[in-house]
Amino acid sequence: MSWGNAPAMAPGSTQPSATVNKLVEVMTLEDEERIIAYLPDGKREKNSYVNSISYFPNGKQMISGSSDNSVRRWDLHAGKEIEEVQVVCEQEVFAVVVSSDGRWVVAGGGDLSHDCPGELKACEVGTGMVKTLQGHSRTVTCVDISMDIKLVASGSTDSTVRIWDLNTGELVAG
Protein backbone atom coordinates (compact mmCIF):
# COMPACT_ATOMS: atom_id res chain seq x y z
CA MET A 1 0.00 0.00 0.00
CA SER A 2 1.20 3.50 -0.80
CA TRP A 3 1.41 6.39 1.63
CA GLY A 4 -2.12 7.56 2.41
CA ASN A 5 -3.21 11.06 3.32
CA ALA A 6 -6.99 10.94 3.78
CA PRO A 7 -8.62 7.59 4.50
CA ALA A 8 -12.41 7.40 4.46
CA MET A 9 -14.96 4.62 4.98
CA ALA A 10 -17.71 3.47 2.64
CA PRO A 11 -20.51 1.02 3.29
CA GLY A 12 -19.12 -2.54 3.22
CA SER A 13 -15.62 -3.75 3.89
CA THR A 14 -13.44 -1.52 1.73
CA GLN A 15 -11.28 1.42 2.68
CA PRO A 16 -10.02 3.88 0.08
CA SER A 17 -6.86 5.76 0.86
CA ALA A 18 -5.85 8.99 -0.85
CA THR A 19 -2.26 8.69 -1.98
CA VAL A 20 0.47 10.33 -4.03
CA ASN A 21 0.25 10.85 -7.79
CA LYS A 22 -3.54 11.37 -7.96
CA LEU A 23 -3.95 7.70 -7.03
CA VAL A 24 -6.83 6.51 -4.87
CA GLU A 25 -6.58 2.89 -3.74
CA VAL A 26 -9.39 0.75 -2.33
CA MET A 27 -8.27 -1.88 0.16
CA THR A 28 -10.01 -4.69 2.01
CA LEU A 29 -10.09 -4.20 5.76
CA GLU A 30 -9.37 -7.84 6.52
CA ASP A 31 -6.02 -8.30 4.78
CA GLU A 32 -5.21 -4.84 3.32
CA GLU A 33 -5.28 -6.28 -0.19
CA ARG A 34 -5.69 -3.68 -2.93
CA ILE A 35 -8.96 -4.18 -4.76
CA ILE A 36 -8.63 -1.38 -7.27
CA ALA A 37 -6.73 1.84 -7.85
CA TYR A 38 -8.28 4.92 -9.43
CA LEU A 39 -6.18 7.25 -11.55
CA PRO A 40 -7.61 9.87 -13.93
CA ASP A 41 -6.74 9.10 -17.55
CA GLY A 42 -4.36 6.39 -16.34
CA LYS A 43 -1.62 9.00 -16.03
CA ARG A 44 0.56 9.72 -13.02
CA GLU A 45 1.95 13.18 -12.48
CA LYS A 46 4.82 13.78 -10.12
CA ASN A 47 4.26 16.20 -7.25
CA SER A 48 0.46 15.87 -7.37
CA TYR A 49 -1.36 14.46 -4.35
CA VAL A 50 -4.89 13.45 -3.43
CA ASN A 51 -5.50 15.29 -0.16
CA SER A 52 -9.08 14.31 0.67
CA ILE A 53 -11.86 11.90 -0.30
CA SER A 54 -15.54 11.63 0.60
CA TYR A 55 -18.23 9.09 -0.35
CA PHE A 56 -21.62 9.71 -1.85
CA PRO A 57 -24.32 8.21 0.41
CA ASN A 58 -25.05 5.31 -1.98
CA GLY A 59 -21.44 4.09 -1.60
CA LYS A 60 -21.09 3.78 -5.38
CA GLN A 61 -19.25 7.05 -6.00
CA MET A 62 -16.74 9.25 -4.25
CA ILE A 63 -15.16 12.69 -4.57
CA SER A 64 -11.43 13.44 -4.33
CA GLY A 65 -9.67 16.77 -3.84
CA SER A 66 -6.08 17.18 -5.03
CA SER A 67 -3.00 19.35 -4.98
CA ASP A 68 -3.52 20.10 -8.70
CA ASN A 69 -6.63 22.16 -7.74
CA SER A 70 -9.01 19.45 -9.01
CA VAL A 71 -12.14 17.93 -7.50
CA ARG A 72 -13.02 14.66 -9.22
CA ARG A 73 -16.00 12.29 -9.03
CA TRP A 74 -15.24 8.56 -9.26
CA ASP A 75 -17.34 5.48 -10.08
CA LEU A 76 -16.20 2.93 -7.49
CA HIS A 77 -17.52 -0.12 -9.34
CA ALA A 78 -16.16 0.77 -12.79
CA GLY A 79 -12.91 2.09 -11.33
CA LYS A 80 -13.07 5.21 -13.49
CA GLU A 81 -13.27 8.95 -13.14
CA ILE A 82 -16.78 10.15 -13.98
CA GLU A 83 -15.98 13.85 -14.18
CA GLU A 84 -13.88 16.67 -12.90
CA VAL A 85 -16.41 18.57 -10.81
CA GLN A 86 -16.69 22.22 -11.74
CA VAL A 87 -16.02 23.60 -8.28
CA VAL A 88 -13.60 26.08 -9.88
CA CYS A 89 -10.88 25.97 -7.25
CA GLU A 90 -7.93 28.12 -8.20
CA GLN A 91 -5.70 26.75 -5.44
CA GLU A 92 -4.82 23.38 -3.91
CA VAL A 93 -7.83 21.44 -2.58
CA PHE A 94 -7.21 20.18 0.97
CA ALA A 95 -10.72 19.08 1.98
CA VAL A 96 -13.85 17.75 0.28
CA VAL A 97 -17.16 16.54 1.67
CA VAL A 98 -20.39 15.20 0.16
CA SER A 99 -23.71 15.99 1.86
CA SER A 100 -25.69 13.14 3.41
CA ASP A 101 -28.23 13.34 0.55
CA GLY A 102 -25.55 13.53 -2.17
CA ARG A 103 -26.88 16.90 -3.38
CA TRP A 104 -23.88 19.04 -2.37
CA VAL A 105 -20.10 18.82 -2.67
CA VAL A 106 -18.07 21.32 -0.66
CA ALA A 107 -14.35 21.85 -1.30
CA GLY A 108 -11.87 23.91 0.67
CA GLY A 109 -8.27 24.83 0.03
CA GLY A 110 -5.72 27.51 -0.52
CA ASP A 111 -2.00 28.11 -0.84
CA LEU A 112 0.01 27.14 2.25
CA SER A 113 3.12 28.86 0.92
CA HIS A 114 1.53 32.31 0.75
CA ASP A 115 -0.45 34.49 3.11
CA CYS A 116 -3.61 34.70 1.02
CA PRO A 117 -7.32 34.02 1.58
CA GLY A 118 -8.47 30.40 1.52
CA GLU A 119 -11.06 29.05 -0.89
CA LEU A 120 -14.36 27.48 0.10
CA LYS A 121 -16.79 26.42 -2.64
CA ALA A 122 -20.15 24.63 -2.47
CA CYS A 123 -21.39 22.93 -5.64
CA GLU A 124 -24.93 21.67 -6.11
CA VAL A 125 -24.31 18.36 -7.90
CA GLY A 126 -27.53 18.24 -9.95
CA THR A 127 -27.36 21.78 -11.32
CA GLY A 128 -23.64 22.55 -11.22
CA MET A 129 -24.39 25.81 -9.39
CA VAL A 130 -21.34 26.95 -7.36
CA LYS A 131 -21.42 29.18 -4.28
CA THR A 132 -18.27 30.84 -2.99
CA LEU A 133 -18.16 31.13 0.80
CA GLN A 134 -15.79 33.98 1.67
CA GLY A 135 -14.37 34.73 5.10
CA HIS A 136 -11.22 32.74 5.82
CA SER A 137 -8.02 34.77 5.60
CA ARG A 138 -5.84 31.67 5.13
CA THR A 139 -6.01 28.14 3.66
CA VAL A 140 -9.13 26.06 4.42
CA THR A 141 -7.98 22.66 5.69
CA CYS A 142 -11.19 20.91 6.75
CA VAL A 143 -14.90 21.02 5.90
CA ASP A 144 -18.07 19.23 6.95
CA ILE A 145 -21.79 19.50 6.26
CA SER A 146 -24.37 19.15 9.03
CA MET A 147 -26.60 16.07 8.97
CA ASP A 148 -29.66 18.25 8.24
CA ILE A 149 -27.74 19.74 5.27
CA LYS A 150 -28.33 23.32 6.42
CA LEU A 151 -24.85 24.28 7.63
CA VAL A 152 -21.24 23.99 6.47
CA ALA A 153 -18.39 24.07 9.00
CA SER A 154 -14.88 24.97 7.86
CA GLY A 155 -11.53 25.17 9.60
CA SER A 156 -8.52 27.14 8.43
CA THR A 157 -4.86 27.90 9.07
CA ASP A 158 -6.12 31.35 10.12
CA SER A 159 -7.00 29.57 13.43
CA THR A 160 -10.75 29.94 12.95
CA VAL A 161 -13.72 27.66 12.57
CA ARG A 162 -16.56 29.21 10.64
CA ILE A 163 -20.17 28.10 10.16
CA TRP A 164 -22.04 28.91 6.95
CA ASP A 165 -25.66 28.69 5.84
CA LEU A 166 -25.49 26.29 2.88
CA ASN A 167 -28.63 27.67 1.21
CA THR A 168 -27.67 31.35 1.33
CA GLY A 169 -23.87 31.07 1.51
CA GLU A 170 -23.86 33.56 4.39
CA LEU A 171 -21.53 33.35 7.39
CA VAL A 172 -23.52 32.32 10.48
CA ALA A 173 -20.75 32.08 13.11
CA GLY A 174 -17.00 32.56 13.38
Q: What is the pLDDT of residue 166?
A: 96
38 pLDDT above the threshold of 60: no
Question: Which ranges in the chain belong to alpha helices (H)?
Answer: none
Q: What is the pLDDT of residue 139?
A: 94
pLDDT classification of 1: cutoffs 50, 70, 90:
very low
Digit-coded pLDDT (tens) for 108-156:
999 988 888 999 999 999 998 999 999 999 999 999 999 999 999 999 9
Query: Percent of the chain beyond pLDDT 70?
Result: 70
Q: Distance from first CA to last CA of the chain, Å, rounded?
A: 39
Q: What is the pLDDT of residue 171?
A: 96
Of 145, 148, 147, which is closest to residue 163 (Cα–Cα)?
145
84 pLDDT above the threshold of 50: yes
pLDDT classification of 30: cutoffs 50, 70, 90:
low
Tell me which of 82-86, 93-97, 169-173 is least confident.
Answer: 82-86
Digit-coded pLDDT (tens) for 87-98:
567 888 999 999
For the residues 1-9, what does the mean pLDDT come to?
A: 46
Of 145, 136, 147, 140, which is closest to residue 166 (Cα–Cα)?
145
Q: What domains, with CATH codes, occur in the chain?
A: 14-173 (2.130.10.10)
How far is Cα 67 from Cα 50, in angstroms, rounded to an integer? 6
Higher pLDDT, 5 or 131: 131
The answer to whether 163 touches 151, Cβ cutoff 8 Å, is yes
Higher pLDDT, 15 or 126: 126
5 pLDDT above the threshold of 60: no
